[in-house]
């Protein structure tokens, strides 16, 4: 059961330019049911129209325990295919949308929860985060895009190991394997994610669009095609009034300086 329906399965809040989207089914560890995925799709659609970046997080002790296994057990194979294809559509709205998404991870990031996180552009894991792909043990397979996205992030060999053995990986391992770009102290993922989302939100919108949509596609192209598309995107982004103003701001010393880490020797 998903509760009485009076509480929102997904919370949504606009904090300045950043939309905050929260998985809100903590009693079921934010497991993703059909109703959750539709509520989530609506939140993503809304963020696309009114925010310049978004953060996805989970309420309660865990980010997300993946597919709702209680609901899945009653499905026929064709219903399973339709469900999987719907997850693909919704996660593609994130991955190839027009605004950057940051995932704030804590606790369980398991199965479909990791597939969701893998469709975002920046992932922050706090010290309580753990990753697992127990599909082998459950007698199923990934269905939310993980075979493509998770495998590309950490490599098919590591992913296969997690699926075959049920191995649970720590936040540090996730960072080493390329699953997450940032580590945060326990309870600190959301603040860090918001900080990063605000920075990304301040970029030129067309640059962000190119980063989200051209960069990953170029990885699937031949080098020649990739270099060609890069030039076109470079010219297109440079031709906007926003780029002209930002370039002028740098030359007139009005731009925010690079945040160079302390300890880096530079003259």
Residue 169 is a binding residue for ligand 1HE (CB under 6 A): no
| Antiparallel, parallel or unpaired: β 18-23 and 53-58 | parallel
Name the token pair of 243.
């780029």
- Candidate list 29, 121, 123, 158; residue touching ligand 1HE; CB under 6 A: 29
Among 12, 40, 63, 87, binds ligand 1HE (CB under 6 A): 87
Give yes or no for residue 144 binding ligand 1HE (CB under 6 A): yes
Do 41 and 75 meet the contact criterion of CB atoms below 8 Å apart? no
**Which part of the chain contacts ligand 1HE (CB under 6 A), choosing from 10-18, 88-96, 136-144, 195-203?**
136-144
Pairing state between β 10-15 and 18-23: antiparallel
Q: Classify the C-alpha dihedral 140-130-58-216 as positive or negative.
A: negative
State the Cα–Cα distance between residues 174 and 154, nearest whole angstrom. Answer: 8
Q: Which segment (95-103, 130-138, 158-166, 190-198) binds ligand 1HE by CB under 6 A? A: 130-138
Out of 108, 116, 169, 200, the only residue in the binding site for ligand 1HE (CB under 6 A) is 108
Region binding ligand 1HE by CB under 6 A among candidate stretches 59-67, 147-155, 200-208, 259-267: 59-67
- Number of neighbouring beta carbons within 10 Å of residue 181: 14
- Number of residues engaging ligand 1HE in binding (CB under 6 A): 24
SS3 readout for 218-237 = HHCCCHHHHHHHHHHHHHHH
Closer to ligand 1HE by CB, 37 or 122: give it. Answer: 37
Q: Active-site residues: which are they? A: 115, 135
Considering only residues 118, 142, 163, 183, which one is a binding residue for ligand 1HE as defined by CB under 6 A?
142
- Write phi, then psi, for 114 (nearest 5 degrees): -75, -35
**What are the tokens at 101?**
């998404």
Residue 121 is a binding residue for ligand 1HE (CB under 6 A): no
User: Nearest approach, Cβ of 85 to ligand 1HE (angstroms)?
Assistant: 10
Contact between 31 and ligand 1HE per CB under 6 A: yes
Query: Measuring CA to CA, how many Å separate 59 from each of 105, 133, 171?
Result: 10, 21, 19
Quick check: 69 binds ligand 1HE (CB under 6 A)?
yes
The H-assigned helical ranges of 26-76 are 34-50, 69-72
Residues facing 58 on adjacent strands: 23
* Distance separating alpha carbons of residues 190 and 56, to the nearest angstrom: 9
Stretch that binds ligand 1HE, among 96-104, 138-146, 201-209, 230-238 (CB under 6 A): 138-146
- Which positions lie near ligand 1HE, rule CB under 6 A? 28-29, 31, 61-62, 65-70, 84, 87, 108, 110-112, 134-135, 138, 140, 142-144
């Amino acid at each position: 059961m998903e509760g009485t329906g009076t509480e929102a399965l997904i919370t949504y809040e606009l904090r300045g330019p950043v939309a905050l989207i929260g998985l809100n089914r903590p009693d079921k560890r934010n497991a993703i049911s059909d109703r959750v995925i539709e509520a989530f799709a609506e939140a993503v659609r809304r963020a696309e129209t009114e925010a310049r970046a978004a953060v996805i997080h989970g309420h309660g002790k865990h980010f997300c325990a993946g597919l709702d296994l209680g609901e899945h057990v009653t499905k026929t194979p064709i219903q399973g295919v339709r469900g999987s294809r719907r997850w693909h559509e919704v996660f593609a709205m994130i991955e190839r949308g027009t605004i950057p998404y940051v995932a704030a991870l804590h606790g369980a990031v398991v199965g479909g929860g990791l597939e969701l996180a893998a469709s975002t552009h920046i992932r922050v894991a706090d010290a309580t985060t753990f990753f697992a792909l127990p599909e082998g043990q459950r007698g199923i397979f990934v269905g939310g895009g993980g075979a493509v996205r998770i495998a590309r992030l950490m490599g098919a060999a590591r992913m296969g190991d997690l699926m075959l053995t049920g191995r649970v990986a720590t936040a540090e391992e996730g960072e080493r394997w390329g699953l997450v770009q940032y580590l945060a102290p326990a309870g600190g993922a959301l603040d860090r994610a918001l900080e990063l989302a605000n920075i990304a939100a301040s970029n030129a919108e067309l640059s962000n669009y190119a980063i989200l949509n051209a960069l990953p596609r170029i990885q699937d192209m031949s080098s020649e095609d990739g270099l060609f598309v890069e030039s076109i995107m470079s010219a297109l982004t440079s031709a906007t009034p926003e780029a002209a103003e930002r370039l002028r701001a740098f030359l007139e010393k009005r731009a925010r300086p690079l945040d160079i880490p302390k300890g880096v020797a530079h003259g």
